[in-house]
Structure 1
Amino acid sequence: MQAKARLEQRHSFFGNYPCDARLCHIIRRMQNTLPGAPDAAGLQAPEDSQSWMLRGSRLHAAGQLEQALIAFEKALALQPTDVNAASACATLLSALSRPMAAYKALLSVEALLLETADGAANLAIAAESCGDLARASMAYQRALVLDPHHGRALNNVGLMAAAQSQWEAALECARQCLAQDPAHAPYHVNLSDYLCGARRYAEALAVLEAAALRFPDDLDIRIRTAAVLAFNGDFEKSREARLRFDAATLDYFKDFLSRSIAPAYLDHRLRGPQGQLPDAFQLYTGQAFEAMTVCDWRDNERAAATLRQMLDDVLRTGIGRDWRDAQFYGLMLGMNEDELAQIRRISVARISKDLQSPLPPFVQRQNPVGKRDGRIQIGITVQSLRDERHAHALKRQLALHDSSRFAIHLYSPTRHPEPAHSEMLQAHVASVTEIAHMSDVEAAARMRLDHLDVFVDMTFDTAWCRPEIPELRVAPVQIRQLTWHRHNPPRPCDYNMSDTFVHPDGLDLTPYGAVVRLPHTCWLATHDEAPEAGWDNREKAGLPAGALVLCSVVPSVMLDPQSFAAWMKILRSLPDAVLWLPAYSLPIAANLVREANAAGVHENRLLFANRLSRVQTLACMKHADLFLDTLRFSANQGLEDALRIGVPAITCAGDSMASRLGGSMLRAAGLNQCVMQSPDAYVAEAVRLGRDPQALQQLRQQLLAEKAGAPLFDLAARVREWEAAWAHMAERTRAGLAPAAFDVPASASTAKL
């Protein structure tokens, strides 16, 4: 929940006036120059541009916008270089929700507009509103060349910089605006918002407190103060500030938070509780979690301590919390298994309590399993089908299921779906239902109509996760394909899917729920894309020819400071090594460079990939010498890709499923010796391999030799094992037996491990 700039709204068209004020300014000027021009209702059409302008002005004043626009367009046609006519057309086109047409009107006089600072700023505003950021930037800079103190240009350049997380540039613009016009309250607000964007909360708070003395009744300043106090960890002061809000101010505060903490792209963040106002603790942890997504770990220790304080408060007071975000981010904060298990149990209970559903309780149907058409009915919620990579992998998995035994019903959260999204899967499923437009209750009710035997949630801790749906109960057996945790709350899911590495032999399974152990790995390696041909050398891949290339391909949110610190130790011990990382955004790269410098590693040894297609990235990855798995949350897909194309890897087995899944995958790929049992051993092994090219080459050869028979890459066999688990759970439930732990026998085709 980074304090995103809700910022002052951009100055509108044109000059120093908002839309209508600018037009009124034109009207007054024309009335002074053409006192005898015909009125708006004159029967005779004007013959010159000035008269058409006056007619348009009068029509606009009468509220006849379309007729006024026609008049202004006539004026512009008669005088194509008339900036006032073009500006008037653009003003009305903007008011009529036609921004592109407004922009085109201004482009017709672009050269003239660029002769003045106001004109250049007007053009920039129109360009920006239409997404032409390159021309907008050029025009704003032109305005500032003509007038370095141009307020609108400075303000909007700051906004553009903030939108790209260029906080220092944004702050410089905000300070200049404030110095020029300290009596303008929104400039104080902008400065505080930019400081929040840079996570400099104490400075933002100082700006707001000073502004409050000058503008004591300004709502934007008051509500931001309450939020920034929370971001800064001043929980009691934030609570006190809220208590001073009346009902209208509280509503305004809620609206502000809903906008300022909303993700820019709805498919890029875990959906939070609906309709709830976060308290100061939630605001604080939310911004800390968002910082973690860009590898800003400076507040991690305090965030973990705050979560523990919140957990203690819940256990003491009995007042639960919806912690759907904390159960994920807590893994990267290094919280232990027991703490995370408590967080999950508390979160499930709170989600259940907050549900207000008109649905009747779920009642298990009495028909035998498969009665509907002789097949076991499986319901699966998936991620967005608009993601081609995910859709391709899903299709590959579905094609391998035994359709004579299992009828699979797919539930897709694809926003604005197109027929092609589901058509590619139709041949392999009984049905595809889009649920993005449905409420949780509507989606659950729709799923119940399919009379499912087993419900499989494949969206846990993703942007498409809707934990309310399984809590409403849609099938007699409910499971999550992966949960990243070894503990399983008693509801809403009945079984805890795992494998014999995540929950190894000798581990007392009692605290972990009804654990289903697959024989090799619970990770389904569904991707089969081949690296693009032609990337035959490191030079083309942008990698140094003579260096030891270590790599890790992992989403930034799953990268943690413990892993990065271990990598820096490895680099310090291997002076000829470089670390190749994904094409992270500039803010993420800047944070990692800062961490590397602090660890005594020169930033040139961090190589960030170019933005390439997936198959091109795989082609580049082939040139890496060793893949370094992350410690607290395994790289998963990146690790699978590396192993599939023949890059050896090492991992460290922790205590959670998230940290042990890498070991599960390596074991299933035939590289048992690459699974370390401690961070120190992990670092030592990476250094040993880095100093022994022959050992690295032997690992690569072993990986390629094992690939044909490795369980990790025998997707058909792994799918059969999942089907065996589904069938056993369904039959057990039909027999009236409670969920209980069991092991799934190995598929005969890969029983050699």
Structure 2
Amino acid sequence: MLRQDPANAAAMNGLGVLALERRDETAALRLFRRAVAVRPTFFEAHLNLARVLHHGNQLYEALAAAQTAAALRPDAPEIHRLLHTIYSSGGRPDLALPAIRRAHALDPDHPASLPSLVGVKRSSCDWSDFDQEDDRLRDLAATGHRLNPFTLLYTRADQAEQQACALVWAGAFELPHEQSFPSRPARSGDRLRLGYLSGDFHDHATSYLTAELFELHDRSRFEVYGYSYGPRDDTPIQARIRASFDHFRDLESFSSRDAAKAIHADQIDILIDLKGYTDRARPQILAYRSAPIQVNYLGFPGTMGASFVDYLIADPVTAPPGTEAYCTERLVRLPDGFQPNDSRRAAVGPVPPRDALGLPSAGFVFCALHAAYKITPAIFDIWMRLVQATPGSVIWLLGMNALQEDNLRREALARGVSDDRIVFAPRVPHAEHLARLQAADLMLDTLPVGAFTTASDALWAGLPLLTCLGTTAAGRGGASLVQAAGLPELVTDSLADYEQEAMQLARDPKRLQNLRDRLRQNRSTAPLFDIPRFVRQLEDAYLAMTPRP
């Protein structure tokens, strides 16, 4: 058609959409640019151009294209949803929030409308209508609406609700049997081929946790493949991750089917998905059944609800007896904990002076450097009571953005706490973060979503973590890690006990110092820090999944 009419903008846009389906973003970008150049008032082409630019992390150009589309059709809800996504990626929830509010007002029944609105509010600690929105999300899931299961993790949803949500979400990825790749049995006596699939093999928490795991796999029993569909950032951790595998495949530009085809061609025996339903996950790759055994591990704390995932790796704390009823996968519990920890991670440097961190030189520092969406009004109530009851103390929080900081200062004032009792820590490189953790006195966990990498970082730095045992896996990670570090007394069974224990520790410096001393001593003996032991347990689990000769 373009040969006959080289200025046909509609044809360019259509070919761009087809290129996107092939994941040829370079061709799609070229075609959408041509389409808007030929017809500057072409809304759909500007919208598609903005989407491709955003996916390529070209945020300024994406925003310009999206704003042009919004000017052309200001009442189109899809452009306001996209503006929300672009602003969120750029760390501007103050602009993302009005954009998603506008989209929600224009199309309140769109399946992404309410979850997106709640997501940006939680990430900026805007707790207006908190309970009502929590209930509405759960009601949507209960009535069969399709929500990403990650959304329910930070609500009051129980395991049954989370499983039902996952089943609906996974249903859209399920494929007819004839579209799956030909099955073959996993090797039973030969060297097994393991494939790790993730979009986080870059400067990301997953890489910092897993690098030594990949390096220490027993090469006499396993051949290890890495499959990445994430960005290339050329950081030292990404270079280390790439080198840790026997074979590393970059699948970012591949369609889901082509990615699965490449994995199938490598004759992988066990494919381990490290993303689940977290940000930019691609469960569609797993749906093609490119390996005879497929595993849900580490990235997502819960069932994937998918027939194409066979096993879920957890431990006795994150998946206590009875959890089987809420998992479509077969549960495998590692005896000493589910999370690997890299003993080669950055050495913990000297403690920075407190005044350099904005902290009081002598007051007690309650530390809660968590992602903002994990902080709830109920948890914040407890933290404020702790600060009020501990003279000279502060609560040290992770500053995510100006809107979040302003909201939390306002919430503190509403609870009778001066806003100077809150100190916000900026994001810093990982080594600096580990060093500064030592300046705090006690790390406080969150619920219903608790700490995972944040918890292991604190424990590695010698900072005790006080946690409360949640009712779902998302709220039990801290308990698993604290027990694996040899400090089980820091796991409480209720928020009332959590608050009381925090108060007692703040008033008993000798006991707190004893905990720090034990944590430092346990670095050489506790299971949490014994990565060779962890790798052997994980390998035994993989072998147990395969048929015996």
Whether these two folds match at TM > 0.5 is yes
Q: 1:693–1:260: structure 2 CA closer, same or farther, 3 Å change rule? A: closer
Q: CA deviation at 1:562?
A: 2.8
Asked whether 1:476 is paired with 2:298, we answer: no
Structure 1 partner of 2:75:
222
The correspondence for 2:500, drawn from 648, 673, 684, is 684
**Are 1:362 and 2:181 counterparts?**
yes
Partners of 1:494 and 1:501 lie apart in 2 by 21
Among 284, 296, 317, the residue aligned to 2:126: 296
Aligned positions of 1:363-512 closer than 5 A: 363-366=182-185, 368-369=187-188, 374-387=190-203, 391=207, 393-415=209-231, 424-425=240-241, 427-482=243-298, 484-487=300-303, 489=305, 491-504=307-320, 507=322, 509-512=324-327
Return the letter of the residue paired with 1:637: T
State whether structure 2 residue 348 is matched by structure 1 residue 531.
Answer: yes
The aligned counterpart of 1:622 is 438
User: What SS class does the counterpart of residue 278 from structure 2 fall into?
Assistant: coil
**C-alpha spacing 1:367/1:349, structure 2 compared with 1 (3 Å):** closer
Q: CA deviation at 1:397?
A: 2.1
User: What are the superposed Cα offsets for residues 209-230 of structure 1, whole Å, 9 maximum, x if unpaired?
Assistant: xxxxxxxxx963433xxx4xxx
The counterpart of 1:343, out of the listed 151, 165, 186, is 165
Conserved in 2, the CA contact under 8 Å of 1:551 and 1:579? yes
1:309-338 CA-to-partner distances (Å, cap 9, x unmatched) read: 323432xxxxx52x22xx212221222221
Tell me whether 1:575 sits opposite 2:391 in the alignment: yes
Counterpart of 1:594 (choices 405, 410, 432) is 410
Distance 2:92 2:211 in 1: 22
Question: Counterparts of 1:46-445 in structure 2 under 5 Å?
Answer: 220-223=73-76, 227=77, 254=78, 257-262=81-86, 265=89, 279-314=109-144, 321=146, 323-324=147-148, 327-352=149-174, 360-366=179-185, 368-369=187-188, 374-387=190-203, 391=207, 393-415=209-231, 424-425=240-241, 427-445=243-261
What is the CA deviation profile of residues 31-58 of structure 1, one whole-angstrom value per residue up to 9, with x for unaligned ones?
xxxxxxxxxxxxxxxxxxxxxxxxxxxx
Measure how far apart 1:281 and its partner are.
4.6
Cα distance in structure 1, aligned partners of 2:299 and 2:239: 29
Q: What letter is aligned with 2:335?
A: P
Do 1:521 and 1:668's aligned partners in 2 also have CA atoms closer than 8 Å? yes
Please tell me whether the aligned partners of residues 364 and 475 of structure 1 are also in contact (alpha carbons under 8 angstroms): yes
Return the alpha-carbon distance in structure 1 between the equivalents of residues 475 and 291 of structure 2: 30
* 1:288/1:299 contact within 8 Å kept: no
Output one character per residue of 1:280-316: Cα deviation in whole Å (capped at 9) or x when no partner.
Answer: 35312211112212222223322222223323432xx
Tell me, which stretches of 5 or more residues in structure 2 are unaligned?
A: 1-36, 38-59, 94-106
Distance 1:706 1:425, change over 3 A: closer
Aligned residues: 470
Alpha-carbon distance change, 670 to 564 in structure 1, aligned in 2, over 3 angstroms: same
Q: Could you tell me how far 1:519 is from its partner in structure 2?
A: 0.5
- The answer on whether the counterparts of 2:206 and 2:299 sit within 8 Å (CA) in structure 1 is no
Deviations 1:145-164 (A, max 9, x none): xxxxxxxxxxxxxxx9xx9x
CA distance in structure 2 between the aligned counterparts of 1:289 and 1:439, rounded to whole angstroms = 28
Q: Is the 8 A contact 2:294 2:308 kept in 1?
A: yes
Question: Secondary structure of the equivalent of 2:386?
Answer: helix
The answer to whether the 8 A contact 1:369-1:453 is kept is no
Q: How far apart are 1:723 and its partner, in Å?
A: 0.9
CA contact (8 A) 1:583 1:608 kept: yes
C-alpha distance in 2 between matches for 1:490 and 1:260: 30
Question: What's the CA shift for 1:382?
Answer: 2.4
Contact between 1:553 and 1:639, CA under 8 Å: does it hold in 2? Answer: no
Paired residue type of 2:348 = P
Alpha-carbon RMSD across the aligned residues, in angstroms, is 3.2
Percent of residue pairs identical: 28
Give distance in 2, aligned partners of 1:495 and 1:629.
28
Distance in 1 between residues matched to 2:233 and 2:257, nearest whole Å: 20
Name the counterpart of 1:655: 471
Aligned with 1:409: secondary structure? strand
Offset at residue 481 of structure 1 (A): 1.1
Task: Report the 3-state secondary structure (helix = DSSP H, G, I; strand = E; otherwise coil) of the residue aligned with 2:225.
Answer: strand
Report the 3-state secondary structure (helix = DSSP H, G, I; strand = E; otherwise coil) of the residue aligned with 2:395: strand
Aligned mates of 1:490, 1:390 — CA distance in 2: 22
Residue 489 of structure 1 aligns to a residue whose secondary structure is: coil
Deviations along 1:237-272, one digit per CA (max 9) or x if unpaired, are: xxxxxxxxxxxxxxxxx4564455446649999xxx
Instruction: Report if aligned partners of 2:198, 2:230 keep a CA contact under 8 Å in 1.
Output: no
Q: 1:418 to 1:618 in 2, by over 3 A?
A: closer
Residues 356/597 of structure 1: CA separation in 2 closer, same or farther (3 Å cut): farther
Bigger drift between 558-567 and 629-638 goes to 558-567
- Kept in 2, the 8 Å contact 1:552–1:628? The answer is yes
Distance 1:366 1:658, change over 3 A: closer
The answer to whether the 8 A contact 1:409-1:429 is kept is: yes
| 8 Å Cα contact 2:212/2:531 also seen in 1 | no
Q: Counterpart amino acid of 1:476? A: P
CA shift for structure 1 position 420: 8.2
Q: Which has the higher contact order (CA 8 A, sep 6+)?
A: 2
Amino acid at match of 1:348: A
TM-score normalised to structure 1 length: 0.58
Asked if the contact 2:187–2:269 (Cα under 8 Å) also holds between the matched residues in 1, the reply is: no
Q: Which shows bigger deviation, 391-400 or 376-385?
A: 391-400
Q: CA deviation at 1:560?
A: 2.9
Q: Secondary structure at the match of 2:476?
A: helix
Larger Rg: 1
Structure 1: 5+ residue runs without aligned partners? Answer: 1-94, 96-159, 164-188, 194-217, 228-253, 270-276, 315-319, 736-753
Q: Which of 360, 368, 379 is matched with 1:552 structurally? A: 368
Asked if the contact 2:463–2:516 (Cα under 8 Å) also holds between the matched residues in 1, the reply is yes
One-letter amino acid of the counterpart of residue 346, structure 2: E
- Matched to 1:441, the amino acid is R
Q: Tell me, in whole angstroms, the C-alpha distance in 1 between the residues paired with 2:260 and 2:369.
A: 36
Contact residue 259 and residue 285 of structure 2 kept, 8 A: yes
Q: Distance in 1 between matches of 2:207 and 2:299?
A: 21
**Cα distance change on mapping 1:366 and 1:683 into 2, 3 Å:** closer
2:115 aligned partner, one-letter code: T
Tell me by how many angstroms 1:388 deviates.
6.9
2 CA distance for matches of 1:662 and 1:549? Answer: 19
CA contact (8 A) 1:443 1:469 kept: yes
